[in-house]
Structure 1
Amino acid sequence: MRRLNSTVVVVVGERAAEVVGSLGSLHNVRAVVRGDRDPAEVTEVVRRSGAMYVVHDADPLAEVARTWEAFFDGDEPTGGLEVAIERALSDLRADRAILPDYYVVLDPEDLPPTRRHWWMGVMAAAAPVRVVPAKASAPDVAEALSGLSAGRWWPQDLASWLRALPRTVPDQPLLT
């Protein structure tokens, strides 16, 4: 897993593609909307960019996040989260995916409780300044980009961290 010269930011949330598409006119920002591209294609575009910031909506941990949420909401079959974790690790090791420097989470207060805990609990605990909440608008995300601060990167032992996720319980009471 290699890091790039650009600062890579993944925007997540219901309106991520729309917001990312509106950021392309910013100075030193390369905005990449996933659209119909597969994640490996987005990774290649990100890798080739020389912009200071590369902002996109193709989260390399999207399937892990989805299955973690479903696992704790009781909707994921046994083993599904573990399979998603191993697939993500394989993609990261093979450089088919790049873990971003930052995640900008759109409107986290509007997310369902388990998904909100994924972003503002699990991910933020792993690297506190690397998960940034913002309103779902291009000006708010642009402001968030201008205020990104340095801090601890993702866990050095990424495999152990990801493999521990089935035991990382949301701090919200789960509804059944």
Structure 2
Amino acid sequence: MPRPNSTVVIVAGADAGKVAARLDGLANVRAAAGQDDDSARELVAQSHAAYVVHDADPLSGVATAWAGFFDRTDTPGTLEVAVETTLAGLRRGTVQLPDYYVVLDPESLPETEKHWWLGVLAGVSPSRVIPAKPSAGAVADVLSRLPSGRWWPDPPDEWLRGLGRAIPDRVGVPGA
């Protein structure tokens, strides 16, 4: 699947769907909420807007499995299966990482989930994960000043397969 023409932004966190839906009327923004992966992929492929914003996170299965692994709520092997499924989708082009994640009110998230966003993902590509207040206005402000920075490591195999060693309260800590 070729890279989209638009900058793709995933809104994540509580009320992500409501916030994303409210952005659709902005100039140069095409937004949708409650999309499944296929619908979100189609939205991105068909858009000619500068920004496509939605809440269908292609890494949601990996994030949930990672949190379950460290919170000891998932069956052993769930994280590995989620990672391999995502890697297969990335190779086939049915999964595509967004340009940015805007995480709404990360301080209100459960601890392990907060470490996923601000530790694991931000550690992999710091300028690609941006915290924001949980409002359409705050996300619109973020869109107007998105930072440049390195893309997600390519290929993603190493960092995704290494998630079992990315301990929540140690991610991003020097020497950890």
TM-score (norm 2): 0.93
Q: What is the distance in 2 between the residues matched to 1:130 and 1:76?
A: 28
What secondary structure sits across from 1:46 in the alignment? Answer: helix
Q: What is the distance in 2 between the residues matched to 1:73 and 1:22?
A: 33
Deviation digits for residues 30-55 of structure 1 (CA, Å, limit 9, x no counterpart): 0021x2x4312211221111110000
Report the alpha carbon displacement of residue 3 of structure 1 after superposing the two structures with TM: 2.1
Q: Aligned AA for 1:19?
A: V
Counterpart in the other structure of 2:13: 13
Counterpart in the other structure of 1:113: 111
Counterpart in the other structure of 2:102: 104
Query: Runs of 4 or more off by more than 4 Å in structure 1?
Result: none
**Contact kept? 1:29, 1:52, Cα under 8 Å:** yes
Deviation digits for residues 126-166 of structure 1 (CA, Å, limit 9, x no counterpart): 01010000011000000011110100110122011101111
Q: What is the distance in 2 between the residues matched to 1:164 and 1:170?
A: 13
Query: After the TM superposition, which residues 1-176 of structure 1 pair with which residues of structure 2 at under 5 Å, given as runs?
Result: 2-33=2-33, 35=34, 37-171=35-169
TM-score (norm 1): 0.93
Q: What is the distance in 1 between the residues matched to 2:15 and 2:51?
A: 20
**Contact kept? 1:130, 1:151, Cα under 8 Å:** yes
> Percent identity at matched positions?
54
Deviation digits for residues 76-126 of structure 1 (CA, Å, limit 9, x no counterpart): 111000001111112222221220000000000101111000000000010
Q: Aligned AA for 1:116?
A: K
**Contact kept? 1:40, 1:97, Cα under 8 Å:** no
Structure 2 unmatched runs, 5+: 171-176
Structure 1 unmatched runs, 5+: none
Aligned-residue RMSD, C-alpha: 1.2
Q: What is the distance in 1 between the residues matched to 2:56 and 2:108?
A: 21
Q: What is the distance in 2 between the residues matched to 1:93 and 1:29?
A: 28
Q: What is the distance in 2 between the residues matched to 1:96 and 1:156?
A: 16
Q: What is the distance in 1 between the residues matched to 2:96 and 2:52?
A: 12
Q: Aligned AA for 1:90?
A: A
Q: What is the distance in 2 between the residues matched to 1:43 and 1:160?
A: 25
